[in-house]
Structure 1
């Protein structure tokens, strides 16, 4: 679309100012900024909720289980940034070291899903957790290194909202609406304070409760009692349906049974995947393809490609291996080191987040266009290499690398 006759009109659309006004007070941003600063906050809220759930009640609840993807994610951020810094010449492009740090969670997990049973579920969990930690690391980098001028008064107000969120969570408030209202206030103050507004999504996720309420057994007993009472009026229920008071009571119990985090994920998760990310990609991925983009940008493009396609898999694999060797983490027997290397290669797919950081790092339109092309090229290379490594590990590899007990099961 960007390279078609409607390209200029599309660009003008994204630059259109939209906002609200009340008397002399007005708050306006371009549609592109609403997408990048507003909609993407929903994505980071979902990311934060997912990693919190996995580390509190999910597959990564134990310290050693969580250590492997966390170590891999740290390696996958540090090594690409260092490699970028080594390749890039000193100058304004040095500020773009954050571009190759990020992993596109959606694309990486989608490729693993397409491969089906060839990839163990445990490896999918590893890559998901590593990519989520990676995304949170990326947004912290954006907040610290790619934000504008700071305004202490607004940041103090944001800190006060964080305290209120902490008190809500500590008081075991399981209604979702207070968290949402405070989250909107937090987004406003973070944006006005000069930090990147999407940080508010991650912070909000930290305080939304992930566990069911403490009186879970009592709520289940209440629900059973209501259902048993309705069952005694079997004929009437068949003619008119359950009584209205019973339906209201069961609705109230259901709302209290499901944790606020699960409820929010159920409503926001699909919207994040099927609306927020596609709209973000449509708004940010457009780049005019012409020979002039490549002129004078060779080192910039080489640094980004090297960081994503080489630095990412190296960082993920080496840090994971170091964590296992040091006894900090344990590698599940269900996948091999070759498969872990394949997951590390898929982590080099930087599309969404790399484009996001590039937009913050390169104000020049020509620099940004070159960076986008490099991100796309590196992501394609990473996808091909990762898929090749994961497509066909031999059965013998699984038997040789598994412990004795697991080897007997494979046999």
Structure 2
């Protein structure tokens, strides 16, 4: 009886004979896996919030729009400011979302999976293609007039929806492609944040901007000095947020700056000695002072970046982002609104830019880099899976809706743009999922050996005490 060699011969281990498309099989660190899991879990809540917003916005009483435009006034002495509920979510609460983004960018670049140039080059260049081509496609539909300001809307990829859809409909062994798309989304976030800061800023107050510079300098000095306590960073961060808000820049940029500047490096080894010393003291005689010292010593062993991300990421993923969807995804979908959107160059431009621009821009840029041998795909990811993931990256929800409110002041343009974002993101999600499932069945992402016997993790600082 002939032996069964399917596990070793039936499934290809590479995309073709060329060695330029070879794959890296470096395992994903547990911290990155945890981040992926939380972002995937956020997608369900964000989808539910979007559906609720759409149903609520189309009720005949108009309560959705009146509720989110309720004014809230904050007054301290002679100073006062007012924002409606929607802007409280967009300007204040979303700073937490951007803070988590900044923390993850800093961690990945410093100590995470973005340190490996060979696997970072491809998603970085792919992300650049996904930033440039969608903007150009949109401008081709609307090159002039106030509508042209919406060119930044289709350049962003929604990380939560992207990873959530991939978890539900992706290939059987998705971790490596999830890492690839997470890297692409992080670079995409950097580009979108830069666009926010440079192109979607109103009049600038140079006095407030000077305070921003001083606050950033203080944070940089604290990082350089090795300050490991979170409280000083948070206090300076609040000052930074207020200064950015008063400067005319969008206040959520304060979250990104704070996240990038909070230290990611491990603290000094002597902190672990303090843990043992204070732990023994607590075991000998437990009292409040010894317990406080022991708890402080334990916290000091974990980088400030990781501690703050651990505290804020669930809040961002499970509270802030769904609230943002609830406050911003509501749009009229009656016959008149849909008819206007169907003939609107804003709506059509956004849909085409999200789906076609990201799909082609990412695939072509990444493929060009692969052909030149500038990098390699992670794990057993093939170019076919990259194409499916590129189309899926056209899901541009959170930051796309965010930029919509900054780009347009006309309610009609905002409505057309939001319909375009919702429609384009839905098309990208469905088409990208189908491509990944089709390619996953006919061109398996992992070999049988990879699924049954995943590569063991090498010893390293990311291993927890249980060895997981």
TM-score where L is the length of structure 2: 0.79
Name which of structure 1's ranges 25-34 and 114-123 shifts more when overlaid on structure 2: 114-123
d(CA) in 2 for partners of 1:117 and 1:390?
7
CA 1:257–1:18 in 2, change beyond 3 Å: closer, same or farther?
same
After TM superposition, give the deviation of residue 136 of structure 1 in Å.
2.5
Contact 1:119 1:390 in 2 (8 A): no
**Is it true that 1:68 corresponds to 2:109 in the alignment?**
no
**Is it true that 1:2 corresponds to 2:46 in the alignment?**
no
CA 1:230–1:116 in 2, change beyond 3 Å: closer, same or farther?
farther
Query: 1:285 corresponds to which residue?
Result: 329
CA 1:372–1:266 in 2, change beyond 3 Å: closer, same or farther?
same
Contact 1:55 1:66 in 2 (8 A): no
Summarize deviations over 1:238-287 as a string: whole Å, max 9, x none: xxxx5555533320111101111111111100000111011111111111
Contact 1:89 1:299 in 2 (8 A): no
**Is it true that 1:388 corresponds to 2:434 in the alignment?**
yes
Summarize deviations over 1:318-337 as a string: whole Å, max 9, x none: 11122223333221242111
Contact 2:215 2:239 in 1 (8 A): yes
Matches within 5 A, 1:4-403: 4-7=59-62, 9-115=63-169, 118-213=172-267, 215-216=268-269, 218-227=270-279, 242=286, 244-293=288-337, 294-295=339-340, 297-393=343-439, 397-398=443-444
After TM superposition, give the deviation of residue 219 of structure 1 in Å.
2.4
After TM superposition, give the deviation of residue 163 of structure 1 in Å.
0.7
Runs of 4+ in 1 over 4 A off after TM superposition: 225-231, 242-246
Name which of structure 1's ranges 128-137 and 157-166 shifts more when overlaid on structure 2: 128-137
d(CA) in 2 for partners of 1:108 and 1:140?
21
Paired residues, what number?
A: 395
Summarize deviations over 1:114-157 as a string: whole Å, max 9, x none: 24662431110111121122123212212211111111111111
Q: Which runs of 5+ in 1 are unaligned?
A: none
CA 1:3–1:394 in 2, change beyond 3 Å: closer, same or farther?
closer
Contact 1:142 1:357 in 2 (8 A): yes
Name which of structure 1's ranges 28-37 and 272-281 shifts more when overlaid on structure 2: 28-37
After TM superposition, give the deviation of residue 365 of structure 1 in Å.
0.9
Summarize deviations over 1:317-371 as a string: whole Å, max 9, x none: 1111222233332212421111111111111001111111111112111111111
SS of 1:295's equivalent?
helix
Aligned-CA RMSD value? 2.4
After TM superposition, give the deviation of residue 89 of structure 1 in Å.
4.9
Contact 1:118 1:392 in 2 (8 A): no
Q: Which runs of 5+ in 2 are unaligned?
A: 1-55, 455-468
SS of 2:102's equivalent?
helix
SS of 1:29's equivalent?
strand
d(CA) in 2 for partners of 1:139 and 1:312?
18
d(CA) in 1 for partners of 2:209 and 2:279?
50
d(CA) in 2 for partners of 1:270 and 1:257?
22
SS of 1:393's equivalent?
helix
Name which of structure 1's ranges 318-327 and 114-123 shifts more when overlaid on structure 2: 114-123
TM-score where L is the length of structure 1: 0.90
d(CA) in 2 for partners of 1:299 and 1:116?
32
After TM superposition, give the deviation of residue 300 of structure 1 in Å.
1.7
After TM superposition, give the deviation of residue 91 of structure 1 in Å.
2.3
d(CA) in 1 for partners of 2:319 and 2:304?
22
CA 1:54–1:148 in 2, change beyond 3 Å: closer, same or farther?
same
Contact 1:101 1:308 in 2 (8 A): yes
